[in-house]
Amino acid sequence: MFTIIFRILKFGVKGFRRNGWLSTATVAITTLALMVFVGLILFGVITRQAVVSIQDKIDISVYFKNNTSEDQILSIKQSLENLSEVKNVNYVSSDKALELFKNTHKNDQVISQAINELNANPFQASLSIKAQRPEQYATIARYLGAPNLSSFIDNVSYAKNQVVIDRLARIIENVNRVGFTLTLLLSLIAGLVVFNTIRLAIYSNREEIGIMRVVGASNALVRGPYMVEGTISGAIAAAASLIVMIPAVYFASPYLSVFIPGLELSRYFMGNLASLLGYQLVFGVGIGALSSFIAVRRYLKN
């Protein structure tokens, strides 16, 4: 048993070396397929970050009538925070709103003067609410529309922004769905390309397989070395694909940060290099060994 395993490994390694060109081609194709694979992982990271940064910008604000007391507003805030859909609620008092406004426009003489000439504070107290997921704003808006609350509320920004929020929610949902489908589809294509390459490589070895059979080699001894070769190809390709990706990621990372705030692709890439290599190895070695296993089967019949 031990000798057989040792011989399978030995034949596999020797075969990989001596089939130089064929091995190189297989490694190259597998590398390309794995680059697609790692590209999909990075694409997922990018879209996730993009979605997060868009979601961060969406909120609805509730403006209260001037006669509403702070206690009442705080108790509404409390009740909103108890909703499962609500992620956080931020209270901005009318004084705070004025201060913020002044701060923003402190370099603009005309506005500053206009504000100072007013005796009363024109700003309303407000709550800005963030939902867990964008499609939940409708529910929150409905909650705010209840008769017991509506007497305090002057207006809710959701009504104005509803179209935009709904559209963003749909886009985000679609990006996620398309991303998932695309990942599945491209992984499948990459897998099939590798499978076919290995099948061709083994097809060109069909006579050798026939010879091994005639000499009395067991199925394991015929198949094993090809699976070892597939494993080696997959492992080399896994490492190669990441090495090729490193400069590409470094180059693209600053440009992506401009579009998507908070995204640092190169940091993500280097930080997760080990687990990425793990994925690549699982995928590369898996597809290499499995393809060899299946491709040899048809030549083991007689």
Single residue of 80, 212, 256, 260 touching another protein by CB under 8 A: 212
Ranges within 11-50 binding another protein (CB under 8 A): 14-15, 18-19
Indicate the residue among 115 and 300 with the shorter CB distance to another protein.
300
Single residue of 122, 145, 210, 254 touching another protein by CB under 8 A: 210
Strands 126-131 and 60-64: antiparallel
Q: What is the chain's length?
A: 302
Indicate the residue among 117 and 207 with the shorter CB distance to another protein.
207
**CB under 8 Å to 90, separation ≥6 — which residues?**
127, 128, 129, 130
In degrees and rounded to multiples of 5, residue 90 shows phi and psi of -120, 125
The partner residues of 131 in beta bridges, in order of sequence, read 86
**3-state DSSP assignment of residue 11:** helix
Indicate the residue among 36 and 217 with the shorter CB distance to another protein.
217
Task: Identify the residue whose tokens are 């390459």.
Answer: 197
- By the rule CB under 8 A, 215 interacts with another protein: yes
Single residue of 71, 82, 258, 301 touching another protein by CB under 8 A: 301
Q: Can you give 12-36 as a three-state secondary structure string?
A: HHHHHHHCHHHHHHHHHHHHHHHHH
Indicate the residue among 25 and 41 with the shorter CB distance to another protein.
25
Single residue of 9, 193, 200, 221 touching another protein by CB under 8 A: 221
- Interface residues with another protein (CB under 8 A) are 3-4, 7, 14-15, 18-19, 207-208, 210-219, 221, 300-302
